[in-house]
């Protein structure tokens, strides 16, 4: 009786806690949250310290609204609730609900759920090992760097549906995991598409937009046109059902994703997962919030949900159980799905301590894992800025890179002003911002930081600390941005600008990043935010590769050049300071040299020139015999090189 009274008193006290008391919640350190399955028994454990009661609901079929059995969980250690069911529950669907403040919350899967039915409303008991495709246990990540240097990576960002849904893709199982695993696909004209194209291009890492289970696409209506990028997480540890052939069966989506990843690995391509731990797609109704109201989120002083993500909420990575969840989630994806890297959406919302913990633990099991994220927020946060994983704090991050919006907008103009132009599109005064980007936001004696467009000081610890890019899924494609910001330019000149932009990205220091289809001038018809636009806007039209074969081949050549020459892939700031030298040049041009011999390059010296003006430039060359790195017939007149308008030249000495 006394123990019952103490338990009820404790429960009442816990239920009266407000937002200021979250830090006093007990922390469970075990590794068995969620479901632990064997054919003999299934163990279920959830963390819900405020609950007065908790139930496990079992369903025979995914569409069932009423459970065939309700099992009461027992209060266990550190705020958890536990039950062991001593029979084989293989194939059974399940959910949990908890009683808080005399009210039963919604029935939901727990945050750790690994398999779900359609639309992720119920978990499913499956034997995860049975989802392994043939050869999975021997699957290995392909090598991309002899010494685990992140700067050896070349990243290519792709949406799974975009890659295969167009009629020209030649893919049979269009739009999902299985389609992107198909080899030998071609356009009607015989040009390689999808997976074969990625291998042919020569990139090392395929960054896939969210493929965890997200909220916005109705998986029960596969024949209804639907589209979303997927930045509205529902179940973090489950593959998205709309990319599978049978979203009702929890095992199918897992097996098909593994098959796709193995197909990538077999082609020499690594897989980067777009991770969105910074917010949930829904707030009050989320799995987190139904089990532990308020805990997993940050709050304003009035107790309302803070929203530094502009998506309705922001998660609180600094809270022990959210930090634990994030860490265990990424470790699960690496161990179970052989993921090779993570891109963290709005990483600036997360605290530095959590991000560094994640990096340390991931590097222990995969030393060459690639980690990077957006070093900004979409609004203000209660988390103090000196604790945020934002761009200005990049030097504090452990083997994690941030995107450089400095070089992005320096190349093409502000993404927030469609009329603004950049160096590659003829805007004057952008040279220093480009130099800053070429040096990967590192300290360099020849960069006047006060002249940089955004950052007035270096923020990168080393070149591996920065993602060098000029476009991604957000905002207009590069081709559309150029067309909209410079409508008076001829198509020929716009193609020159596009070529110059990508040449800057692929020859700069840091980790280069390309947006899918940019190698053949991909357009989204001027749609700036295509997150839910139809396939007619988002699908990759592979006939454009045929029409722009020479440009596609040029990008392949640039990627191969970068991979062959370590001078473009330096690893330390000291190397940059000593081996990268900017030369004096006329306004609208940038000239620099790389000392290749000092970084064991087969080329003694490399000379790079960029011209962002409307006129051809004749630039003096250092003494010696120079050869064109790309096999072009660059016009060299004694000690001068000709750089065409909106053009580039790469020369070398052996």
- Nearest C-alpha neighbor of 19 from the set 316, 380, 347, 317: 316
Of 213, 249, 345, 431, catalytic: 345
Which residue is associated with the tokens 């941005």?
481
Q: 186-217 as b/e, with b when 16 or more CB fall inside 10 Å? A: bbeeebbbbbbbbbebbbbbbbbbbbbbbbbb
Residue located via tokens 């190397």? 575
- Tell me which DSSP letter residue 165 carries: -
C-alpha 237/C-alpha 330 separation (Å) is 9
User: What residues have CB less than 8 Å from 488, skipping those under 6 apart?
Assistant: none
What single string gives the DSSP state of each residue in 248-283? TSHHHHHHHHHHHHHHHHHTT-EEEEEE-TT--SSS
Residue 110 annotated to the active site: no
CA distances from 379 to 12, 69, 391, 445, 474 (A): 36, 45, 15, 34, 17
Residue 23's Cα: distance from chain center in Å?
A: 30
CB 595 within 8 A of CB 561: no
Residue with tokens 């000239």: 591
Percentages (nearest 5) of helix, strand, coil residues in the chain: 35, 20, 45
CB burial readout 270-297, b (16+ within 10 A) else e: bbbbbbbbbbbbbeeebbbbbbbbbbbb
The span from the CA of 510 to the CA of 524, in Å, is 28
Following DSSP, what letter does each residue of 496-539 receive, concatenated? HHHHHHHHHHHHSSSEEEEETTGGGT---TT-S--TT--HHHHS
Question: What DSSP line would sit under 34-69, residue for residue?
Answer: EEEE-SS-EEEEEE-TT-SEEEEEEESSTT-SS-SE
Token pair in block for residue 279: 């917010």
d(CA 576, CA 366): 27
Catalytic residue among 256, 374, 406, 409: 374
Residue 338 DSSP one-character state:
-
Residue 293 tokens read as: 């109201």
Q: Is 383 exposed, middle or buried (0-12, 13-18, 19+ CB in 10 A)?
A: buried
Active site (annotated) includes residue 274? no
Structure tokens at 630: 């790309």
201 phi and psi angles, rounded to 5 deg? -65, -35
Please list the active-site residues: 345, 374
């Amino acid at each position: 009786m006394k123990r019952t009274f103490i338990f009820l008193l404790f429960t009442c006290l816990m239920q009266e806690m407000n937002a200021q008391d979250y830090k006093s919640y007990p922390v469970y350190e075990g590794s068995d949250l969620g479901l632990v399955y064997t054919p003999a028994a299934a163990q279920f454990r959830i963390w819900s310290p405020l609950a007065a009661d908790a139930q496990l609901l079992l369903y025979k079929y995914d569409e069932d609204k009423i459970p065939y059995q309700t099992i009461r969980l027992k209060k266990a250690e550190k705020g958890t609730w536990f039950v062991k069911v001593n029979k084989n529950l293989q194939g059974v669907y399940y959910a949990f609900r908890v009683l808080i403040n005399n009210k039963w919350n919604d029935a939901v899967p727990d945050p750790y759920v690994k398999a779900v039915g359609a639309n992720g409303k119920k978990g499913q008991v499956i034997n995860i090992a049975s989802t392994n495709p043939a050869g999975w246990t021997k699957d290995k990540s392909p090598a991309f760097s002899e010494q685990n240097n992140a700067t050896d990576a070349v990243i290519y960002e792709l949406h799974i549906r975009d890659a295969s849904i167009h009629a020209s893709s030649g893919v049979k199982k269009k739009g999902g995991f299985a389609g992107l695993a198909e080899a030998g696909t071609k356009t009607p004209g015989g040009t390689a598409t999808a997976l074969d194209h990625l291998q042919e291009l020569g990139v090392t890492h395929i960054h896939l937009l969210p493929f965890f289970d997200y909220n916005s696409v109705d998986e029960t209506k596969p024949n209804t046109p639907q589209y979303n990028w997927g930045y509205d997480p529902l179940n973090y540890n489950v593959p998205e059902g709309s990319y599978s052939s049978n979203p009702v069966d929890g095992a199918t989506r897992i097996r098909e994703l593994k098959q796709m990843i193995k197909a990538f690995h077999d082609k020499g391509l690594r897989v980067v997962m777009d991770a969105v731990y910074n917010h949930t797609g829904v707030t009050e109704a989320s799995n987190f919030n139904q089990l532990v109201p308020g805990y997993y989120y940050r709050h304003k002083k009035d107790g309302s949900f803070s929203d530094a993500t502009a998506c309705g909420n922001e998660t609180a990575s600094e809270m022990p159980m959210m930090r634990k969840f994030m860490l265990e989630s990424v470790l699960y994806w690496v161990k179970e799905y052989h993921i090779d890297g993570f891109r963290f959406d709005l990483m600036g919302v997360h605290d530095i301590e959590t991000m560094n913990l994640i990096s340390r633990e991931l590097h222990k099991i995969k030393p060459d894992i690639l980690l990077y994220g957006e070093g900004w927020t979409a609004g203000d946060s209660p988390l103090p800025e000196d604790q945020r994983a934002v761009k200005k704090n990049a030097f504090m991050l452990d083997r994690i890179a941030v995107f450089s919006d400095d070089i992005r907008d320096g190349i093409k103009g502000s993404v927030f002003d469609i009329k603004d132009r950049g160096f590659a599109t003829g805007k004057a005064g952008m040279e220093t911002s480009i130099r800053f980007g070429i040096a990967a936001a590192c300290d360099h004696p020849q960069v006047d930081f006060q002249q940089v467009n955004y950052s007035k000081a270096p923020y990168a610890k080393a070149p591996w600390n920065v993602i060098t890019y000029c476009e991604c899924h957000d905002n207009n494609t590069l081709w559309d941005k150029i067309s909209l910001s410079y409508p008076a330019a001829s198509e020929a000149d716009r193609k020159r600008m596009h070529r110059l932009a990508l040449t800057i990205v692929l020859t700069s220091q840091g980790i280069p990043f390309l947006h899918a289809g940019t190698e053949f001038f991909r357009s989204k018809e001027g749609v700036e935010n295509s997150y839910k636009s139809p396939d007619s806007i988002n699908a990759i039209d592979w006939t454009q590769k045929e029409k722009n074969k020479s440009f596609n081949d040029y990008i392949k050549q640039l990627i191969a050049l970068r991979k062959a020459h370590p001078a473009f892939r330096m690893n330390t700031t000291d190397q940059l300071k000593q081996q990268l030298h900017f030369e004096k040049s006329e306004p609208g041009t940038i000239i620099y040299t790389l000392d290749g011999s000092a970084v064991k390059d087969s080329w003694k010296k490399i000379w790079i020139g960029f011209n962002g003006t409307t006129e051809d430039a004749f630039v003096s060359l250092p003494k010696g015999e120079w050869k064109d790195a790309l096999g072009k017939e660059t016009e060299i007149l004694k000690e001068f090189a000709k750089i065409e308008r909106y053009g580039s030249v790469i020369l070398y000495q052996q």
